[in-house]
Structure formats: structure tokens, C-alpha cells
Structure 1
Amino acid sequence: MRSAIRVLPAFVLLLAAPLSFAARGDSFGRAPAVANTLVQLAQVPIPTIPIPTLPIPLGSTTTTVAAGTTTTTTVPGATTTTLPGSGCSCAGGTPTKQSSTTGVGTGSCGHLDADGNPNFFPLACGGLYFGGAGVGVPLPSTIPDLGTSIANVACNGTALALTGTTPAEAGGNRCSGGTNHHNACTTNADCPGGACKFLLCSNAGCLFGPPLPVPNGSHGGAATSTCVINTVAANAAGTGDCAAGTTTNYDLPLNSALFLAGDLMAMRCSGGTTPGANCTGGGACGTTTACAGGGTCVNDTGRCTDNGAPCCSDSDCSVAATCETGACAGGTNDGKGCITTADCPGAGAKCRTFIQPCPICEPTTNTCNGGPNDGLTCTPGASPVDGDFPSSHDCPPSTSLGIGSLPIGFKLDTGTITKTAVDLPDQANVFCGFCKNKVTNAFRNPAVACNTNADCAAFTGFTSCGQRTSGAFTSADVARTIIETGSPAGAQTTGGAAQPQTLVSIFCIPPTFNALVDSAADLPGPGAAALQGTTQLQ
């Protein structure tokens, strides 16, 4: 099948503060570096500065020190040592911002372990995973590339403290819709009749990545495909190191707005001056409207698995074949219907989806296809890596398709992150507990996260703690541990070229309380993402 959801879009890092010098090092673990500096100072003749004689508390001491070094005062019961500020030692000077951009993922960035069955399921780089073992959506969804997020940077030594940027600090904002569509803006007041899209910043209210399509390419599942708009829920915060190129515990909580769109364009124009435009007639798939500029209206819904013929349903195919919403691109089944890339044997072959749950920014005309801004100018927010891309915030989904928002505790790291499921009284292999009725498997609304049944005792009818289905992401086995492994950028230079990095996150997803979506995505349950891309100090 294909993928989508973005989370992903783009990302960053933060935090620092000098502490006491001792054998254990300062708060950034730089004791050896400071010690080397003192050794160097000791080798150079430096005049001493006598300390004036003052009344001294009983038991305290005063030390004569070289200018610019350390002063230590000992008082009964306590010793305090203060280091002078060391400044920033990042190569290239002191950075003020860090920009991170997602790329197209390749290879594996993690795996699942089951009891007695380690590493039984790989987790792809650039992939978004969600749900328990009962998930019905073919995974992973593809995290869009070209998503950029900018953080403010404070530097001490090589330690970086990263904080969120405002729309004005990050720049790059654009009006979507209204009389000032596609022009620069700072606030919504700059966009009469539309909205100012905060594309690059990382404070609360800023967008995170382009719209994320989550197509459901399972047989007959297209109607439950969703478009996700991720907005930062609280100002970003975290830490990094310019010498190692690491990002640690970068806290970027998200509010994920869900739009139950299905497939927005069953028929699309081919050729002419409006390629990709929606030409679906009133009867949906198989019915057409005229394409402007001489184009041809073609099927963008499905292909038969036996011969690749265009189809709207299984009845359009032979008895032995089915109509699927993807088609193999390359390999021995090139052009034939598929659900996942496993249906497309051959080096480099993949299953390319026909489902567009988010409107498309047609990359050859830079025009919105579908949605309320259909026909307006746009800038692609991602590459056309699959049939559900490129999406763009210039081309939002219709608000009428919204089914609510989910809070996602998104934390990014260039290291290795693991999450291990626990066995609770009413359910084994639970990664993300929410209060539920253990008989009906219905969850309390609004959702209440829990660790044990005791956390749910006050909620009559929902006194059990668990997730929808045990495990994570696949029915191949019941997962016990989720492992995602990031990759640091290496030594960074302020103003230097962007360097490759991988940021990873494991998180919990609450129920949407939409029966179709929760059933297909197997929510509530765990989620995981691996964002391959680049990062740059500025």
C-alpha cells in the first residue's frame, strides 16, 4: 500500500546551565575540558591579585587566585565552587537558531521484540506506526519530507538549550485562502478571509510539517482514510550538543486534528492545462466532469490485481481478482493492483496509492487539487513520493470533514528509545493504558490515561486499564518492546552545511471516539516515528 501521515514533518533540540567543578564534571560533563584549561593557565606566568583582609567567619578560608580563575570559599558545613562563564565553543561561532528538515526515509530505524521472539518486525525510517496488533491500516504511513522546524538556541560550551520560536522569529508564514492567499503574513489579520499558516516556528500554535495523509489501503478500507494536521501544543524545549550533534528529549507535544476524508478524488484529469484536477462526477468513481484545457478524466480509484485494469470495485475485475486502491510501480507486477509493497516483487518496486485523503498541491502547475482552495496557487509542502503527495498547508482539508483532535506526547531524540509493554490484571502486553470497560472494550470519553486499574476506580463503568488490542503495529506476533534508534548529526559548525540526522519518538495515541477510525487504526494504542532528515546551526 502506500503511506502517509506526517507527522511528520520537521524537528529540533535544547537546555544548558553551568554547575560546580569537581571530579564528576560540570552539568554538561565537561570536567576534563575545564581541567585542561586550568592546566594551561597554570603554565603561563599570571600575576596574582591579593584579596583585602576582611572579617572572616569562624572556620572559613580565603584563597588568593589568578585573575579569571576560580574562587572557593569554605564555610562550616558547606563548600561552594563557582566557575566563570565559559561562553560558547561551537565551531563557527555562537548559534542563535537550529533548523531541522525531514527527508525521504530509507532503511530500518527500529524493530519490535516479542516474548521469545526478538526483532520479529522491522520499523522503517521515515515511517509512522500506530495501533495495537489489531491495526487494519497497512503500515507504515509515510512521514512527509521537506517539513522544516526552527528552534531558538542558547549555547554554553558545546551544550545547546533549545526553545520554541515565534512566527515572527522563524519567518516563512503564508496566507491560506482569502484575498491575500499565498502571500507573506505574521498574523491572521494579514489574511482577510483566510488564515496565516505558521509553517516553520515551534511555539504553541505553530504547524509541524505539512498535512499528513493516512490512507487506508486495505481491501475496501479507503473510506476510513484520514488527513492529519499537526499543530504544536506547547512551546518546544530540549537539549543538544554541537560537538556531538545530538538532540536529547526534545519535547514537542502535538495536537493532531483529524479529518475523515476518505478518497477526495476518485477521478482526476490527465494532460491538458489542469493535470491532477478533480473531475469526479456526481456518481463518484466512474462518472466524470469535463477537464479544462483538453485533458482526459481518468480513473484514480483502483486497479485490478490480475491485469491492472482500472476499476471502481471488485465487480469490475475478473472473478479471481480484486480491485485495490494501489498499483505496483516497477517489478514483475508493474501496474497491477496492490495493497502493500509486499504485493510488488522486484528490486525497487513499491505499491503506490490512489487515495488522496488530503488535498494535493499539483507539483507541475502549483495548483491546489481538491479541498476548499481547489484551483488556487500553492507551494508543495513535500515531494511527490506517493499518490497522496505532495500536500500543502496552502491546500487544507475542508473543516466539515473534521472529527476532532488528539493530544500526542511527542518527544524526539537522536539516541535509542524503547518502550516496554506491561501485563495488567485485565490485559497483557499493554503499552498505553486508558480507562475502559473490560467487557465492551469501550473507553471513557473524554479519554483518561492510566497505569493500573486503580487509576480508573473513580470512573464507573470504565474501571479497567488497557489499550484497544494488545501489542503494537502488527499481528505477526504480540509485541513486548518497541525500539527506535536515532542518529546524531556529528560535529556541527555554526553557519555550516546541513548535516544528516535521524530523530525518533515513541508515544501513546488516545481513542478518537470515531468507531470507524478507532477500529481501523486500533486506537488507543502506541505510536512510533523515525524522522530522517538534516539539521543546521545558524
Structure 2
Amino acid sequence: MKRTRRTAILPIALLVWTGVAGAKVHVRAHAAKGSRPSATTSAAVAADCNCCCFSQLAFTTGLPDIGATGCSDASGTISGTVVDDGGATLCNLKLGGLYFGGAGVGVPLPLVIPDQGSSITKITSCDAVTGDFILAATTDTDVGGSNPNRSCTAAGVNNPEYPGKPGCLFGAPIPIPNTNSPATSTCVVNRVSVDASGTGNCGDGSSAINVPLLSDIYLTGPTDGLVPCPRCAGPSGSETCQAGPNAGQPCTPADSASLGSAFPTSHDCPPASAAFIGSLPIAFALSSGAPSATSTDLSAQPFVFCGFCGQQFTPSFETPPHPCTADSQCTNGTFPRCRQRNSGAFGQGPARTITENGSPAGVCIGDGATHAARLVSVFCIPASGNGTVDSAADLPGPGAVALPGESQVIAPIPSCTTSTTIGGGTTTSTSIGGGTTTSTSLASSTTSTAVATTTSTSLLPLPTCASATFPACVGQCAGTALCLPVGSACVCQGLP
């Protein structure tokens, strides 16, 4: 088969949002540290499926469906599980819920992930034949509009809301109320610490992206009742910050009030800077696949998902956090053991495997419409260094999240053309102001154009396929020719 391609190198975006996320964990389906994560790669997409003429793709989180709290509860939408050595389910993980900590976690789980969080990445290359694209970070300049630092995915971007804390913001502030110990309630603000990178596919909307984060923790306690992050509330269109340094100032809600009494939150209403106690470095990876993590039994502790160098008998860990998989990696004599704070995951001691199940759009996303998808992650969270917070959240330990939402290619490239030649047939897609036209030709010669670059290819029409039925066109052709649907017939295309 002879295949050539003319593809514009264009930018495209992909969301991600998250809450507290992970440091270093043995996770199947996650990329190794320093590598680019990989989404599912298809062989070839339909001729009219083309994302290469769009410059961005956004993912916006939707409303969670966590049902009742508690691991044994089966209400809501189950997105994953925690199982023991025998495969028995210890905990049902819920869609839109954030889980963290080991067996000793003292915060009722799951926490609610805010909706309406949108983030954007761009594509650095795009293959119109396979539909694969490579993702890179966007800056605030790339995104444009109002508050672009709240949807870009690059490190180093200034945040006027949080002076001295650079990095594009990821989602709205996350309230972590602790009804068991109100004084340990916190507000978490996530920002990008290293430029995002990843991959995606236009044909099925699959994606995988690394977004290293710093999760800034504000120990706000029982502020304004049990509302750890200042709310943005009031009559529609006239909302004001209900607490914090901007109390009484106008604001725009960044999530839905229906999420609970601690919502809506907004970066217009930041927590008091005096409540800041530190930042957790999180090596975060989101995927539309099914990442999982398996615990190991170490000398100091069984059922360890997220090892960090610490002391044998006290919950004291090396600073800065030192991730490990064995005691031999802990070279500081004061912290000689590789362990978590407590064994297991999310209140379950004998936890062996954590799995979250993502889902791609399942259809071509090149039409510019919104498509439902689910991005998930299993990760590690280091200790914060604050004894009160670490005790309540049982850190260091594992974390997991499943984000419902919608992905959408946006910002079409004006007058963008991609052309793919397979054997004797040429398919050309042209985007002008967002509209797309597609044509297929078997003429003796055609001309294809890819963003101001022109090339000519000589084509050879060939006879109909043997034993083929339109439109499936699974039939016999001579030599390397392919049996392909053209018009209303199955035709051999290519050189015999």
C-alpha cells in the first residue's frame, strides 16, 4: 500500500482538571516519569474526521454523581474500585469524587470535585490519517479572553489572585470540609508546576496527559460554618465573596451551588494568605483509559501504594518528600523506611489494587461539538509537613479521581486544508471559518494543499474489488492496492 500524507502542524487543546494528586506510584497505563503519556492510537480515521484544522481542544468538568458517602454504598455512578488480594471489592469509587489517604483517613470520602472547570492544551503535531495528535501546554496568551490563567496549562504564568504563586490554575478552589474534625478543614488551590504534555486521538476522543501540579493547602478550619473556601454567592448576577480577604467584593461563581453548602467557590474569592501552610508536589496524569495501582508489602508495612522515606514507628517523613519503592532507596539515616502513613487506601487496610475507569468520547470529535468523556487518575500524595492535616488526610498515601465532562475541539484554523492520499484516492478536507468540506477524487491527477503548501500526486484508477459489498468493501485487489468505498462502489485504489 502506498500512503502519503500532507498534514498541517497545528495547535490543539485538551482539558484537564484535578484536585490533590500524586507523586510517584506504580501505575499501569501511566507514562514513566519524564515521558509523554499515550492515548489509544487508531489505525486510520474516517475521511471526514479531522481535528487538524482546529487549534484547541477543551475539556470541561461536569456535575459529579457520587451518591451517598462511604465505600460500601452503591448509589451514584461507580467509576472504579478498591479490591483486596482475593479480588473482593472493598470500596466503590464514585464519579466526580476525590479519594485520598490510607486506612486511617479521618475525612469523610469522597470529596466533591467542582464542575465547570475547563483547561486547554494545544497540539504540536497532528496526523490526519490516524487522527493522532500531540499535546503541549498553553500559556495565558495562547488562551486569551478574561482570566486566561484559569484555563491555560503552563507553569510560570502569573496569578494576580495568588501573588508569588505562579502556574496556570486548575479548576476552582476545592473545599475539604471535615465534619469529624472541623478544625482540620482545608481549602485546596491547584496550579500547574510543569508544562502539561500528552497525546490524543480525533477518531475516538481518547487522551492521556501529564499535568504536574502544586496543590496549595490553606488550613482555614470551620470558617463561615463548615465552609473552608470563601463562597461566591448572592442574587444571580450580583454575587459577592462571603468571606476571606475579598469579602463583599463582586465575584463570578466558578462552579454550581447544587454541589453542596460549601459551594459555589471562585478564584475571585481566594482564602486568606495567612492560612497557607504549604504546597504538595503532585505528579498528576489523567487518562481516558483505565489506570490502576497495586500495593506492595514492604519491610516496614504491608499494602503500600505510595512509599515515602520515613521513620519506622512514628508518622514522620523526610522533607522534601522522598518517594521510594524499597528501604534501600532511603539513604537518610533518620528516615530509613519506605512506607505510607498507614497501610491501604481510602479507609481500607488490606487494599491491593485501585482502579479507575475512564472513557473516551467514543466518536470522532472533529465536528467541533461537545462530546461526553471521562478522565481518570490514580496517583500518590506526599505528606504536607503539617501534622494536623497529615493526620486527618492520612498522608502520605494514594489518591484517585474520576472526572465527568465534555471534550470539544475549538478555535478553528481559518482556510486550513489537509489532504491524505491512499493509493489512487485523495481525500481533501478544507476548513474555512469553522465549516468543513470533504471531497474524494479518483481523477488522473489531483492537487492537495496544506496551509499554503502545494503538492501534486499522480493517481491511477483501478478496477472494482473482487468479492466486495458496498459500503464495507472487504474484497480482493491485486498487488498492494486497497479495496475502498468510492461513490457507491468498492474500487481498488493504488498500484497493482
Tell whether the structures are fold-level matches, with TM greater than 0.5: yes
Match of 2:304 in 1: 430
Match of 2:287 in 1: 413
Corresponding position of 1:230: 190
CA shift at 1:7, angstroms? 3.1
> TM-score, normalised on structure 1?
0.62
Q: Conserved in 1, the CA contact under 8 Å of 2:230 and 2:241?
A: yes
Against the structure 1 CA distance between its residues 165 and 467, is the aligned structure 2 distance closer, same or farther, given a 3 Å change threshold?
same
The equivalent of 1:369 in structure 2 is 242
Larger radius of gyration: 1
- Contact 1:8–1:531 (Cα < 8 Å) also in 2: no
Partner Cα distance (1:155, 1:188) in 2: 30
- The superposition leaves residues 452-476 of structure 1 with CA deviations (integer Å, 9 ceiling, x where unpaired) of 00001x201210100000000024x
What do residues 186-231 of structure 1 show as CA deviations (whole Å, max 9, x unaligned)? 9869x7xx66999xxxxx710000001111122xx11100000000
The reply to whether residue 133 of structure 1 matches residue 103 of structure 2 is yes
CA offset digits 1:225-262 (Å, max 9, x no partner):
000000011111111111011012x1011100000001
Q: Match of 1:208? A: 170
Deviation, 1:116, is 2.4
Shift of the 129–188 alpha-carbon distance from structure 1 to 2, 3 Å rule, reads closer
Aligned to 1:160: 133
Aligned mates of 1:495, 1:152 — CA distance in 2: 17
CA deviation vs aligned residue, 1:429-463 (integer Å, no higher than 9, x gap): 0000011110223111222111100001x201210
C-alpha contact 2:78 2:93 (8 A) present in aligned 1 = yes
Aligned length: 353
Secondary structure of the 2:297 match is strand
CA drift of 1:395 comes to 0.3
Any unmatched runs of 5+ in structure 2?
A: 1-16, 21-30, 32-39, 66-76, 150-155, 411-496
Q: 1:523 to 1:92 in 2, by over 3 A?
A: closer
For residues 483 and 509 of structure 1, what CA distance do their matches in structure 2 show? 16
C-alpha distance 361-161 of structure 1, shift in aligned 2 (>3 A): same
Residue 490 of structure 1 is matched in structure 2 by 362
Matched, 1:468 2:341: yes
Q: Cα gap change, 1:501/1:149 in structure 2, threshold over 3 Å: closer, same or farther?
A: same
Cα distance in 2 for residues equivalent to 1:432 and 1:241 = 31
Tell me the distance in 2 between the aligned counterparts of 1:168 and 1:96: 14
Match of 1:505 among 365, 377, 399: 377
The answer as to whether partners of 2:321 and 2:383 remain within 8 angstroms in 1 is: yes
Is 2:313 the counterpart of 1:442? no
1:459 aligns with 2:332: yes
Is 1:264 paired with 2:226? Answer: no
Kindly provide the amino acid, as one letter, of the partner of residue 125 in structure 1: L
Alpha-carbon distance change, 360 to 232 in structure 1, aligned in 2, over 3 angstroms: same
CA contact (8 A) 1:434 1:524 kept: yes
> SS at the partner of 1:528?
strand
What CA distance in whole angstroms lies between the structure 1 residues aligned with 2:214 and 2:405? 22
Q: CA deviation at 1:160?
A: 1.5
1:518 paired with 2:405, answer no
**For the residues of structure 1 that align with 2:19 and 2:342, how far apart are their CA atoms?**
25
Identity %: 44
1:83-482 to 2 correspondence within 5 Å? 90-91=49-50, 94-106=53-65, 107-153=77-123, 154-157=125-128, 158-174=131-147, 205-218=167-180, 221-248=181-208, 250-266=209-225, 355-364=226-235, 365-384=238-257, 385-456=259-330, 458-475=331-348, 477-482=349-354
CA distance 1:417–1:393, change in 2 (3 Å): same
Distance 2:273 2:206 in 1: 39
DSSP 3-state at the match of 2:141? helix
Query: 1:65 corresponds to which residue?
Result: none
1:366 CA displacement: 1.3
Q: CA deviation at 1:90?
A: 3.3
RMSD: 2.7
The answer (yes or no) to whether the contact 2:140–2:148 under 8 Å persists in 1 is: no
Question: CA deviation digits over 1:110-162, x for unaligned, max 9?
Answer: 01001225222100000000000110000011000000001112321200111
Query: Residue 495 of structure 1: CA displacement?
Result: 5.0
The answer to whether the 8 Å contact 1:253/1:409 transfers is yes
Question: Any idea what the Cα deviations from partners look like across 1:49-79, whole Å, max 9, x if unmatched?
Answer: xxxxxxxxxxxxxxxxxxxxxxxxxxxxxxx
Q: Are residues 195 and 505 of structure 1, via their aligned partners in 2, closer, same or farther at CA, if it must alter by over 3 Å?
A: closer
Following the alignment from structure 1 to structure 2, what is the Cα–Cα distance between the partners of residues 137 and 152?
A: 37
Letter in 1 for 2:144: G
1:533 to 387, 398, 405: 405
Deviations for 1:350-378, whole angstroms, at most 9, x for unmatched residues?
Answer: xxxxx110000005231111000001111
Aligned residue type for 2:340? Q
Q: Is the 8 A contact 2:280 2:382 kept in 1?
A: yes
C-alpha distance in structure 2 between counterparts of 1:481 and 1:460, whole Å:
31
Query: What's the offset of the Cα at 1:409?
Result: 1.0
Instruction: Report deviation, 1:172.
Output: 3.8
3-state SS of 1:168 partner: helix
- Structure 1 residues 105 and 197: CA distance shift in structure 2, 3 A: farther
- Paired with 1:175 and 1:102, the residues of 2 have a C-alpha distance of 17
**What TM-score do the two structures reach when normalised by structure 2?**
0.67
Structure 2 distance, partners of 1:461, 1:225, is 30
Instruction: Rate the CA distance shift 1:450–1:89 in 2: closer, same or farther, 3 A.
Output: farther
